């Protein structure tokens, strides 16, 4: 019982907290892939931009909560402009063009941030401090808040895609954009808004994780690798798959650290991705044919 | 006509005299020394204070006429806490600035790399911050000196206190590069020799942002004491995170020298409460020499001294050796250092051991109470320094394997 509470429970919570936040990032990535057919290499930089936009807003307003609203909107707007100006002209070309373009965008965003804010690590103070005693162990309040916030967001996104007309339109566009176009829907606008929404979601994840991971220009690169693994495991383009895979990765990572050094766990997770790519390229929940 | 020639000759002679004599009269001779350390990144605080220590010593020496009739000038360089830039900057200091002494670096990885440069160019090299164990053993060279207690000295000093007073079951958590690995090896060896049980070891990379993935394994091992070998902003983050998970209260905490600067202690006083640390300086130590040094430091920089005491002493040792050798010739200065004692260091009289050029420094054990490092024991340098092991691996046959009891 002691072992369960003192050792396993905190690890399970770590896994859920990290998995849920990772889910937010991966969800945007998988939606963009499903809809636009683009593997967005700049997604990690949108996550990073969220954290820096948060620093800027906190600097002016001294309020993390205001930043939590303003920063994702600002990054969403950057996402919309990026989609219209750079990605849209490439939709009819080979997917490789989009890949190279987003790779370039990632470099542009990262270096721009370095120019503006410098390369030093920055901290954002968590808006919620202190710890809560939980079944005999102690857990930081901010991480509990993070778990709650991510869960609510994931639920809201699920409701959006299943219950609202806009959400159903996006899903329809993922299935068959040409047919939707034929039915009179403004598909380019759906594309732009979806890209902006995914960017805002990435920014939100960046800002929510900033008080734990700190803020630096490279932060997106480290996260995007994990997000790619999540998307591949969950099945490229599968939203539910991404959320499940994110939680599985989060939990696996935190539980495996009980028996091996976290650096080796990272290797194990990459190895798992390679195996899945070879044996079952569509991932756990992916549609047949996306990568086969 | 004859008078004119005579007058002209005198004029030329006078002009020549003025031209040749002017620099000698108005500009004293200058000798440069190099200060190499982290000015940005995880150890930037240490680099800043190393520079301040050097500056203070130079100012005091210059006020007394410099060294060997030369005014001392300091050239400071940033090594970005990485070995490659450290080597580049060391080459620049030696070849371009012609420094006669190089103080640095801060990170052990950088210092080990710089040792090759100072060996190649025969430059006197003082290390006053880095504590990896190989500098006075396998990497040792004639021109290298150190007054920083290395991992072995620290382990000898602290392990006994941990086993006697804090608990026998110890978990070692270290920063995974030269310094932390060295500390981990030495502490594991020393603890096991004294009958302590190392229940777990883990390394986290330098500049780790989130340490919580490592906490499960620590809790699983259920130690009495959590021994942490980190420094700089890593220490700040680690302690804050351990505290938020209730682990600073659950385990007794102990750590290496340099774990935290006194200046940072105030901001995390609560997580650090009760922390036992070996250190070679604290402004709360009543030692009269330390108090006198701290008063001068505080007057100059407006803050308490810390690891700056090390680089301050290093410059004093070098200046004394130059005076003794009556030359800046590196071979003569290096020989003059050996076995030399200096009376006016921050802790009074200290001597350099001839065999491995390590200063036999007395250290203190401190415990944090209310954000202050209060001394709890003094450990004689002669008890902790261990035998000279030049050219040998100090922990030959070491293994990280945990011996199950």
pLDDT 10s digits, B342-379: 999 999 999 999 999 999 988 899 999 998 999 999 88
- Give pLDDT, residue B212: 86
CATH at residue B253: 3.40.50.2300
Is residue A117 helix, strand or coil?
helix
- Position A46 pLDDT exceeds 80: yes
Task: Out of B360, B376, B399, pick the residue that ends a domain.
Answer: B360
Residues of chain A with C-beta less than 8 angstroms from the C-beta of B214? 257, 262
**Signed CA dihedral, A224, A228, A233, A239: sign only:** positive
Whether residue B190 sits in one domain with residue B83: no
Residues of chain A with C-beta less than 8 angstroms from the C-beta of B213? 14, 253-254, 257, 262, 265
- Position B144 pLDDT exceeds 50: yes
Q: Is-cis flag, bond preceding B169, omega within 30?
A: no
**Signed CA dihedral, B271, B276, B281, B284: sign only:** positive
Residue of A nearest to B219 (CA): A7
Whether residue B91 sits in one domain with residue B202: no
Residues of chain A with C-beta less than 8 angstroms from the C-beta of B215? 10
Whether residue B93 sits in one domain with residue B205: no
Q: Name the nearest CA neighbour of B390 among B120, B140, B124, B149.
A: B140
Interface of B to A at Cβ within 8 Å reads 40-41, 176, 202-205, 207, 209-210, 212-217, 219-220, 222, 233, 237, 244-246
* Banded pLDDT at A203 (limits 50, 70, 90): very high
- Give pLDDT, residue A291: 42
- Give pLDDT, residue B268: 85
User: A157-166, B206-215, B316-325 — which is least confidently predicted?
Assistant: B206-215
pLDDT tens column, A229-267: 999 888 877 888 889 999 999 998 888 888 887 778 888
Whether residue B157 sits in one domain with residue B141: no
Q: Name the nearest CA neighbour of B201 among B167, B237, B174, B238.
A: B174
- Give pLDDT, residue B346: 94
Is residue B396 helix, strand or coil?
coil
Alpha carbon B242 to chain centroid, angstroms: 27
The Cα B239–Cα A106 span in angstroms is 34
Strand partners, A276: none
- Give pLDDT, residue B8: 60
- Give pLDDT, residue A121: 73
Q: Does residue A219 or residue B88 have the better pLDDT?
A: B88
| B11 occurs within a structural domain | no
Number of domains in chain B: 2
| B371 occurs within a structural domain | yes
Whether residue B190 sits in one domain with residue B65: no
Whether residue B253 sits in one domain with residue B378: yes
Inter-residue contact B181 to B112 (CB < 8 Å): no
Q: A10, B215: Cβ pair inside 8 Å? A: yes
The Cα B296–Cα B292 span in angstroms is 7
- Give pLDDT, residue A290: 45
Q: B246, A131: Cβ pair inside 8 Å? A: yes
The Cα B218–Cα A257 span in angstroms is 10
Q: Name the nearest CA neighbour of B240 among B209, B217, B261, B204.
A: B209
pLDDT tens column, B213-252: 888 889 888 999 999 999 888 898 899 889 988 899 999 9
Q: Does residue B99 or residue B209 have the better pLDDT?
A: B99
Whether residue B304 sits in one domain with residue B353: yes
Inter-residue contact B157 to B278 (CB < 8 Å): yes
| B20 occurs within a structural domain | no
Encode B161-203 in three state secondary structure: HHHHHHCCEEEEEEECCHHHHHHHHHHHHHHHHCCCEEEEEEE
Whether residue B247 sits in one domain with residue B374: yes
- Give pLDDT, residue B4: 53
pLDDT tens column, B47-59: 999 999 999 999 9
| B141 occurs within a structural domain | yes
The Cα B79–Cα B89 span in angstroms is 7
| B312 occurs within a structural domain | yes
Q: Give me chain B's average pLDDT, please.
A: 89
Average pLDDT of the segment spanning B153-158: 89
**Closest Cα of chain A to B216: distance in Å?**
6
Structure tokens at B67: 């060294």
Whether residue B297 sits in one domain with residue B346: yes
Percent of chain A residues topping a pLDDT of 90: 39
* Banded pLDDT at B17 (limits 50, 70, 90): very low
Whether residue B162 sits in one domain with residue B127: no
| B65 occurs within a structural domain | yes
| B374 occurs within a structural domain | yes
Whether residue B178 sits in one domain with residue B134: no
- Give pLDDT, residue A289: 43
Apex CA B104: angle with CA B98 and CA B109, to 5°? 120
| B355 occurs within a structural domain | yes
Domain that holds residue B141: 30-148+286-360
Inter-residue contact A249 to A269 (CB < 8 Å): yes
**Closest Cα of chain B to A197: distance in Å?**
28
Q: Which helix (DSSP H) or strand (DSSP E) does residue B384 occupy?
A: helix B381-384
Whole-prediction pTM value?
0.79
Concatenated DSSP letters of A52-81: HHHHHHHHHH--HHHHHHHHHHHHHHHHHH
Whether residue B140 sits in one domain with residue B34: yes
pLDDT tens column, A101-151: 999 999 999 999 989 987 777 888 889 988 888 777 788 999 999 999 999
- Give pLDDT, residue B66: 95
Percent of chain A residues topping a pLDDT of 70: 97
Q: Does residue A124 or residue B11 have the better pLDDT?
A: A124
């Amino acid at each position: 019982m002691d072992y369960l509470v003192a050792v396993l429970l905190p690890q399970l919570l770590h896994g859920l907290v990290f998995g849920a936040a990772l889910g937010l990032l991966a969800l945007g990535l998988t939606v963009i892939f499903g809809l636009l057919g683009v593997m967005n290499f700049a997604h990690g930089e949108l996550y990073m931009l969220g954290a820096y936009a948060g620093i800027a807003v906190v600097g002016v307003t001294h309020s993390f909560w205001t930043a939590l609203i303003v920063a994702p909107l600002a990054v969403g707007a950057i996402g919309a402009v990026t989609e219209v100006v750079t990605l849209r002209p490439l939709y009819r070309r080979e997917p490789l063009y989009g890949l190279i373009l987003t790779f370039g965008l990632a470099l542009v965003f990262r270096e721009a941030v370095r120019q503006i804010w410098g390369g030093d690590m920055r901290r954002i103070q968590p808006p919620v401090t202190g710890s809560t005693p939980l079944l005999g162990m102690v857990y930081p309040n901010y991480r509990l808040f993070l778990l709650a916030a991510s869960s609510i967001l994931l639920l809201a996104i699920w409701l959006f895609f299943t219950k609202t007309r806009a959400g159903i339109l996006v899903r329809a566009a993922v299935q068959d954009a040409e047919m939707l176009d034929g039915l009179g829907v403004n598909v380019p606008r759906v594309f732009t808004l979806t890209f902006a929404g995914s960017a805002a979601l990435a920014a939100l994840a960046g800002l929510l994780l900033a008080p734990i991971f700190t803020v630096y220009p490279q932060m997106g690169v480290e996260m995007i690798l994990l997000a790619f693994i999540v998307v591949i495991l969950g099945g490229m383009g599968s939203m539910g798959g991404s959320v499940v895979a994110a939680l599985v990765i989060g939990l696996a990572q935190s539980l495996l650290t009980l028996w091996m050094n976290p650096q080796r766990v990272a290797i194990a997770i990459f190895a798992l991705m390679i195996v899945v790519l070879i044996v079952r390229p569509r991932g756990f929940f992916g549609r047949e044919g996306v990568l086969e | 006509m004859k008078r004119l020639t005579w007058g002209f000759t005198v004029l030329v002679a006078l002009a020549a005299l003025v031209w040749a004599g002017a620099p000698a009269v108005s500009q004293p001779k200058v000798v440069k020394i190099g200060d190499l350390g982290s000015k940005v990144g995880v150890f930037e605080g240490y680099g800043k204070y190393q520079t301040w220590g050097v500056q203070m010593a130079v100012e005091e020496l210059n006020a007394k006429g410099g060294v060997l009739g030369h005014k001392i000038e300091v050239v400071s360089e940033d090594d970005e806490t990485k070995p490659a830039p450290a080597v580049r900057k060391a080459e620049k200091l030696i070849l371009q600035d012609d420094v006669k002494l190089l103080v640095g670096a801060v990170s052990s990885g950088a210092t080990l790399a710089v040792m090759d440069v100072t060996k190649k160019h025969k430059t006197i090299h003082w290390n006053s911050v880095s504590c990896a164990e190989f500098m006075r053993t396998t990497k040792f060279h004639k021109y290298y000196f150190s007054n920083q207690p290395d991992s072995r000295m620290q382990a000898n000093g602290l392990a006994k206190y941990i086993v006697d007073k804090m608990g026998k079951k110890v978990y070692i958590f270290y920063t995974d590069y030269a310094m932390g690995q060295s500390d981990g090896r030495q502490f594991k060896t020393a603890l096991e020799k004294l009958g302590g049980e190392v229940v777990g070891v883990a390394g986290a990379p330098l500049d780790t942002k989130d340490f919580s993935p490592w906490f499960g394994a620590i809790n699983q091992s259920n130690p009495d004491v959590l021994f942490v070998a980190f420094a700089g902003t890593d220490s700040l983050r680690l302690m804050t995170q351990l505290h938020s998970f209730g682990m600073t209260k659950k385990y007794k905490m102990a750590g290496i020298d340099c774990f935290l600067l006194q200046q940072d202690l105030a901001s995390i006083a609560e997580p650090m409460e009760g922390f036992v640390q070996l250190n070679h300086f604290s402004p709360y130590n009543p030692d009269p020499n330390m108090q006198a040094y701290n008063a001068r430091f505080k007057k100059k920089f407006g803050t308490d001294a810390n690891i700056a005491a090390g680089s301050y002493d290093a410059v004093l040792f070098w200046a004394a050796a130059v005076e003794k050798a009556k030359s800046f010739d590196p071979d003569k200065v290096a020989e003059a250092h050996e076995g030399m004692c200096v009376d006016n260091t921050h802790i009074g009289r200290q001597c350099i051991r001839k065999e491995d050029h390590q200063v036999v420094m007395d250290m203190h054990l401190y415990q944090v109470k209310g954000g202050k490092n209060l001394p709890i024991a003094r450990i004689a340098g002669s008890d902790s320094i261990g035998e000279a092991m030049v050219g040998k691996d100090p922990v030959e046959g070491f293994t990280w394997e945990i011996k199950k009891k």
